[in-house]
Each structure stands twice: as structure tokens, then as C-alpha cells.
Amino acid sequence: MSKSLNFLLPTVGGIALLGGIAIASMHRNSGEAQIALLRDRVAEVEAHAKNAGEKVKMAASRAEELQAEIAEVQAAAQERMAQTAVLTAPAPETDEPYGIGRPALTEEIAAWDVDVLPDGRGLPEGSGNAFDGEEVFAAKCASCHGDFAEGVDNWPVLAGGFDTLGDEDPVKTVGSYWPHLSTAWDYIHRSMPFGEAGTLTADETYAIVAYILYSNDLIDDEYELSHENLGEFEMYNKDGFVVDDRPELEYTKWRTEPCMENCKEEVEVTMRSVFLVETPPEGGSKSEMNQATLEALPTFTAAGPSFIPEAAPKPAVAEEAEPEATPAAVQPTEGVDLVAAGEKVFRKCKSCHQVGSGAKNRSGPVLTGIVGAPAGSVDGFKYSKAMASAGDAGLVWETSELDAFLADPKGYLKKTKMSFKGLDDEEDRAAVIAYLNSFE
Ligand code: HEC
Ligand code: HEC
């Protein structure tokens, strides 16, 4: 109550002061008319003052009313609080404060705590090199990302693209774009192979990352990548990013004097984010989606928006796309059984090699007619330097040479890129050679 009264007091004081000024002026100006005029003014002021006095009284009684109301509300609130206190009171004391759940196990925390930081913190112990990585990559990644990480169809390219970042269609790869190697390790370990995330061991991941670096010509194939040196590895584009200092430097500028001139009169929606499909197959700035307008909407079907000709199909994995094997003239000296046994052994080769009519180069060359052929001579296959020069030096795949090679590929030809541990069993080797020999 006293608050509202204090609020009104300056007004009353102001009116009294005005009266004082009026009387002072009266003494200075002695004209009758002026005296009359001033009397009127004084009367007016007095009326005002009376009025103000009444207002003060009214305000006082209103304040009393309000005070009463407040007391009422407070009493009600106190009553309600007393009731809810029962509901909000802390749960009865137990060993586990809320009586629910249990502390997370160390193993459970470890399963969630998987992030890897640029300096290598968070990396599990392990190591691998490109040489081993190639084998895993060929088996688990090449069907989508290509044997040399060059990308199959529309699947992401992981190698190359150096110095294209300023181009209209930059090729952003692990090599050309990523500033930290930790991202590659972390991303691959957590989310690849696509559809089979979480299946890679730490060592496999180190080896794959090394292979991707190798495919980008950033290391040689003997470089041993491990939890100890990964954080120190300097990526090609490490200086290509800037720290976002806008919150400190720019926002403050805009906050003091926001520009409110030449503003657009109306805001209009010209594009919906639903059209912004990531990585459109037709690519980049020429993509049809950029031309889509509200009037000419693309239609959507199960296969995707109409401007995408067809949802990018998953490239066939070697095994699925295996051409029909058509064993040709089986040599009389070789039993049909041996060829049949060889066909079974060949399953070990199928992830990389095809044989027969319609066979295509995969991560390994087509093996049709390989028995008796010069090494490293299949058209269109990119051999290792080792295999190419062995062929140039006159190596021919006679049965005996094949047998030695298949027993221990890397022992036979140290730097071959056939990442296959070899066939220990002599009979398996004889069988698979017989099988290969059954194709012309
Ligand atoms: C079935 C196809 C498929 C397989 C197999 C596959 N990936 Fe991928 N990969 C993808 C797709 C699709 C993306 C893009 C995912 C996205 O953008 O969300 C991708 C993205 C990536 C990227 C990020 C590329 C970038 O620049 O953004 C890396 C690195 C990668 N994969 C590595 C691997 C590795 C290593 C393997 C094998 C262990 C593998 N992938 C197996 C389909 C595949
Ligand atoms: C992980 C993939 C992979 C597997 C599995 C594999 N190879 Fe290979 N193979 C290759 C690659 C890659 C080359 C090319 C080697 C080079 O250029 O050094 C090759 C080369 C060869 C060659 C020499 C071809 C030529 O044109 O000179 C023969 C023969 C061969 N492989 C047979 C086999 C047989 C038989 C099996 C199964 C028992 C097998 N490979 C398993 C990847 C593989």
C-alpha cells in the first residue's frame, strides 16, 4: 500500500510547487487583469490539487483491495504448496538415490565412448599397413568404392581430387579434402562397410585407412599406421579450414547497428528443402533440382524424386554378378572330379577373380585361359609393378609356376598385389589349376 502512495506523492508536490511559482509571479506583475488571471490560475491549481487528493484516496483504497487479494492468493498458494510438498518430496533414502536403474558398467561406457579426436585421443591400440589394408578393402569396400578407392558409379570417391576444391565441381575425398586423419578412422570404424557397420576390428581399420592414404599417394605401402602415429599424420588439406570466429568478431558488429535500409518488402519461398537431395546423381550446380520451382514440382515415387532417373543401384558384388561358368573341353588326362573339386576351391578366388564367358576384371584379373598364358597380360587390368615386370621378363603361367604362385603368392612374387594367403594343400592347387584349365 505504501508503495502506491509514494508513487503519487511527486505529483502532489509538483502541483504545490506550481502554485508557489504562480504566487511569486503575482508579486512581480501588479496589473489588475493579471492578478485576476492569476487568481483564476490559483483556483484552477487548487481544484487540481483537490482532485489529486481524491485520486490519492482512491488509489489508497484500491491498493488496500489489492493487498487483500494478494493475501488471499498467497494463502491459497501456501495451501497448495503444502499439498504438493508430499508429491515433490525426495524419494525415500536408499543406496541408489532414486531407487531405479543401476550404475553403467565399465564395458557399457567403453562401448559408447568411441569417438576419436584429431590428436589421436580415443584411438584403440593397433596398427596396420596398406599392404594388408588392400586385402580387407578389396573384400569389404571395393564393391562400392572401387579397387583403388576411385568410387564405383555414384558411390563416394575416396582418393584423388587434389587441388580441385576451388573448381566448380570439386572432388572432395579423404585425400583432397579431409583435414584430420582421425575422422577417416572414426568414420570408417563406426559406419562402414555400409550396411555392416561395426564389423571392422581396430587393426583392420588401421590397415584400411593406410590403404586409403596409399591410394591417395600420401604414404608408401610399408608405412605402418598405428594409434601412436595416426594423430600426428598431416593431411594434405589440413590448412584448408578456418576457425569460425564470427561469434566473437562479427556478431558484435551487427548487434550495435543492425542495417535496416533497402530491405526487401516481401519474403517469398522459392525452394523447399525436400528437393535438396544429397549427392544428386546428375550432379552439382547443373542439377535439375536447382531449377525446380513451386509451380513445377518434381513428383516423388518409391524410386525417388522424378528428377533422379533411378535410385542409384548397388553395384553387383563379384559373387552375385558371377557369369555362368561354361567349362569347355575338359582335357582327357584330367578327371572330371578334379575339375569339380577345383570349382569348389575357386570359391576362395571368386571375391576377386572371374572366369568363363562374360567374365570381367574385378579386383583381380579375368582368369579365362590363364594356364599357359604370359603373366600380367590380361587387357585392361592394372597389375602391380612386380607382376607386370615378371611378365615382361618372360614369366609364363605353366602349371608348375601357377602351383608355386598359388602356394604362397607373396613368397613367390614379393610385391604382388594379390592379397591372398595362398593354398597350402597341394591337391587344392592341382584341382583349381585343372578347373582354370577347363576354360579356354
Ligand atoms: C554397399 C556400398 C558400400 C560399401 C561396401 C562401403 N561403403 Fe563406404 N560409403 C558408402 C556410401 C553410400 C557412403 C556415403 C554415406 C553417406 O554419405 O551417408 C560411403 C561413405 C564412405 C566414406 C566417406 C566418404 C566421404 O568423402 O564422405 C568413407 C571414408 C568410406 N565410405 C569408406 C568405406 C570403407 C573403408 C569401406 C570398407 C570397410 C566401405 N566404405 C564400404 C557405401 C559403401
Ligand atoms: C583378394 C583378391 C584375390 C584373391 C582372393 C585371389 N586373387 Fe589372384 N590376383 C589378385 C590380384 C589383385 C592379382 C594381380 C596381381 C598383381 O598384379 O600383382 C591376381 C593375380 C592372379 C594371377 C595372375 C594373373 C595374371 O594375369 O598374371 C593368377 C593366376 C591368380 N591371381 C589366381 C588366383 C587364384 C587361383 C585364386 C584362388 C585360389 C586367387 N587368385 C585369389 C587378387 C586375388
137 CA: nearest ligand 1 atom: 37
Which ligand is the nearest neighbour of the Cα of 210?
1
Alpha-carbon distance of 151 to 221, in angstroms, equals 20
172 CA: nearest ligand 1 atom: 26
Considering only CA atoms, which residue is closest to atom 37 of ligand 1? 141
Q: How confident is the model at residue 306, as a pLDDT?
A: 47
Q: Is residue 396 predicted with pLDDT exceeding 70?
A: yes
Q: How far is the CA of 41 from the centre of ligand 2 (A)?
A: 116
- Note the pLDDT tens digit of each residue in 104-147: 999 999 888 888 999 999 999 999 999 999 999 999 999 999 99
Cell numbers for 293: 520451382
Q: How confident is the model at residue 321, as a pLDDT?
A: 42
- Note the pLDDT tens digit of each residue in 188-203: 999 999 989 999 999 9
The 3-class secondary structure across 7-68, one letter per residue, is: HHHHHHHHHHHHHHHHHHHHHHCCCHHHHHHHHHHHHHHHHHHHHHHHHHHHHHHHHHHHHH
Alpha-carbon distance of 195 to 135, in angstroms, equals 19
Q: How confident is the model at residue 110, as a pLDDT?
A: 85
Alpha-carbon distance of 48 to 302, in angstroms, equals 81
% of the chain exceeding 90 in pLDDT? 42
| CA angle in degrees (0–180, nearest 5) for 177-179-181 | 105
Residues 322, 350 contacting (CB under 8 angstroms): yes
Residues 240, 179 contacting (CB under 8 angstroms): yes
Q: Which of 19-28, 75-84, 263-272 has the lowest mean pLDDT?
A: 19-28
- Note the pLDDT tens digit of each residue in 33-91: 777 777 888 788 788 777 878 888 888 888 888 888 888 878 877 877 776 666 556 65
pLDDT higher at 314 or 60: 60
Alpha-carbon distance of 279 to 156, in angstroms, equals 9
Given pLDDT bands bounded at 50, 70 and 90, which one contains residue 348? confident
What angle, 0 to 180 degrees and rounded to 10, lies between the N-to-C axes of helices 399-407 and 426-437?
130
Task: Report the chain's mean pLDDT, rounded to a whole number.
Answer: 79
Write the CA distances from 278 to 48, 58, 275, 300, 431, integer angstroms.
75, 70, 9, 15, 49
Given pLDDT bands bounded at 50, 70 and 90, which one contains residue 310? very low
Considering only CA atoms, which residue is closest to atom 3 of ligand 2? 352
Which ligand is the nearest neighbour of the Cα of 199?
1
Q: Which of 24-38, 56-70, 313-327 has the lowest mean pLDDT?
A: 313-327
- What is the best residue among 137, 171, 187, 194 to mutate for testing ligand 1's pocket, by most ligand atoms within 8 Å of CB? 194
Q: Is residue 171 predicted with pLDDT exceeding 80?
A: yes
Q: Which of 52-56, 173-177, 236-240, 366-370 has the lowest mean pLDDT?
A: 52-56
423 CA: nearest ligand 2 atom: 38
Q: How confident is the model at residue 17, as a pLDDT?
A: 41
278 CA: nearest ligand 1 atom: 17
Alpha-carbon distance of 188 to 128, in angstroms, equals 14
Q: What is the mean pLDDT of residues 339-367?
A: 89
Q: What is the mean pLDDT of residues 328-334?
A: 46
Q: How confident is the model at residue 140, as a pLDDT?
A: 95
Q: How far is the CA of 202 from the centre of ligand 2 (A)?
A: 26
Alpha-carbon distance of 213 to 204, in angstroms, equals 14
Considering only CA atoms, which residue is closest to atom 42 of ligand 1? 194
Alpha-carbon distance of 347 to 432, in angstroms, equals 10
Residues in the chain: 440
375 lines ligand 2 (CB under 6 A): yes
Considering only CA atoms, which residue is closest to atom 12 of ligand 1? 155
Q: Is residue 7 predicted with pLDDT exceeding 80?
A: no
Write the CA distances from 361 to 89, 147, 365, 375, 440, integer angstroms.
73, 11, 5, 15, 16
Q: Is residue 257 predicted with pLDDT exceeding 60?
A: yes
Tell the burial category of 371 from Cβ atoms under 10 Å away from its Cβ (0-12, 13-18, 19+). Answer: buried
Alpha-carbon distance of 118 to 408, in angstroms, equals 39
- CB under 6 Å to ligand 1: residues? 140-141, 143-145, 155-156, 158, 172-174, 184, 187-188, 192-195, 200, 208, 314
Q: How far is the CA of 156 from the centre of ligand 1 (A)?
A: 6
Q: Is residue 308 predicted with pLDDT exceeding 60?
A: no
Which ligand is the nearest neighbour of the Cα of 155?
1
Q: Which helix (H) or strand (E) holds 341?
A: helix 336-345
Given pLDDT bands bounded at 50, 70 and 90, which one contains residue 221? confident
Which ligand is the nearest neighbour of the Cα of 409?
2
Q: What is the mean pLDDT of residues 353-379?
A: 92
- What is the best residue among 143, 144, 173, 314 to mutate for testing ligand 1's pocket, by most ligand atoms within 8 Å of CB? 144
For the chain, give percent helix, strand, coil, nearest 5: 45, 5, 50
Q: How confident is the model at residue 34, as a pLDDT?
A: 74
Q: How confident is the model at residue 62, as a pLDDT?
A: 84
355 lines ligand 2 (CB under 6 A): no
Alpha-carbon distance of 322 to 366, in angstroms, equals 11
Q: Is residue 328 predicted with pLDDT exceeding 80?
A: no
Q: Which of 122-131, 351-360, 363-372 has the lowest mean pLDDT?
A: 351-360
The residues facing 396 across adjacent strands are 374
Q: How confident is the model at residue 429, as a pLDDT?
A: 95
Alpha-carbon distance of 436 to 440, in angstroms, equals 9
Which ligand is the nearest neighbour of the Cα of 133?
1
Q: How confident is the model at residue 111, as a pLDDT?
A: 85
% of the chain exceeding 70 in pLDDT? 74
Backbone phi, then psi, for 316, in 5-degree steps?
-65, 135
Residues 283, 312 contacting (CB under 8 angstroms): no
Q: Is residue 263 predicted with pLDDT exceeding 60?
A: yes
